[in-house]
Amino acid sequence: MNRTVRDFQNALEALLRTKPFEKITVDQICNEALLHRSSFYRYFHDKYDLLEQLINNRLHQLMTAAPDEESFIEAEVNYLNDNKNIFRHLAADNANSTLYAEMLRIISEVLMKQSADHTNQGEVIKAIRRSDNPELQACTFGGAIMGALYWWQSNNYDVPVAEVVDFIKQSVLPFSTVSTTNA
């Protein structure tokens, strides 16, 4: 990743600490990054593209640092716990919003990209690979994760981190061991 892309990602992340994603404009992102609007469009189609790259980058950083999927789930929930305002500003008023669907699509695509990386031998990724319908499997796992995180946010993060981590593990990991006809 080059410095300009990193600066735009950091700018979006900084803005998400103070305002909802829907209210953030490309001009605000450019001003925060101290970069020109034409530079933004050189690297991104729109702010959703930037959000996708930001989420993909942060998830990749967490995945790379985690030795296994259980550690990744813990790291992901701890990251969200440490950055509650960002997630609050990404979480829409209800799960039927366009942004919820966009977040689910992004997480599903990240899981699909991870399944294409054959060095990743995590159980969830292997389950996606051996599924008769990998895209549906990635969406199902992404939905379980997003659902738990939205539930946590709707409960104002009053549920302990360990409980959320355990719930996500119980929701995702057992289904990753179900065999399919492609196994």
Q: In the chain, what percentage of residues exceed pLDDT 90? A: 33
Overall average pLDDT of the 97-107 stretch: 76
Q: Residue 8, Cα to own-chain centre: how many angstroms?
A: 17
109 vs 146: CA distance, rounded Å: 13
Of residues 144 and 35, more confidently modeled = 35
Which of 8, 152, 23 minimizes the C-alpha distance to 79?
Answer: 152
Task: Output the pLDDT for position 11.
Answer: 98
Overall average pLDDT of the 145-169 stretch: 86
**177 band by pLDDT with thresholds 50, 70 and 90:** low
Task: Output the pLDDT for position 12.
Answer: 97
Pick the range with the lowest mean pLDDT from 36-50, 68-82, 116-130: 116-130
- Write the pLDDT tens digit of every residue in 16-54: 999 999 899 999 999 999 999 999 999 999 999 999 889
Q: In the chain, what percentage of residues exceed pLDDT 70? A: 89
What's the per-residue H, E or C state across 44-104? Answer: CCCHHHHHHHHHHHHHHHHHHHCCCHHHHHHHHHHHHHHCHHHHHHHCCCCCCCHHHHHHH
If one counts every other C-beta atom within 10 angstroms of the C-beta of residue 10, the result is 13
Task: Output the pLDDT for position 183.
Answer: 41
- Look up the pTM and report it: 0.76
Question: What's 182's DSSP letter?
Answer: T
**111 band by pLDDT with thresholds 50, 70 and 90:** confident
131 vs 40: CA distance, rounded Å: 38
Task: Output the pLDDT for position 110.
Answer: 80
Overall average pLDDT of the 53-61 stretch: 86
Question: What's 156's DSSP letter?
Answer: T
**153 band by pLDDT with thresholds 50, 70 and 90:** confident
**94 band by pLDDT with thresholds 50, 70 and 90:** very low
Of residues 24 and 60, more confidently modeled = 24
Give all domains of the chain, ordered by start, each with its CATH number: 1-65 (1.10.357.10), 67-183 (no CATH)
157 conformational bin, left if phi > 0, alpha if psi -120 to 50, beta if neither: left
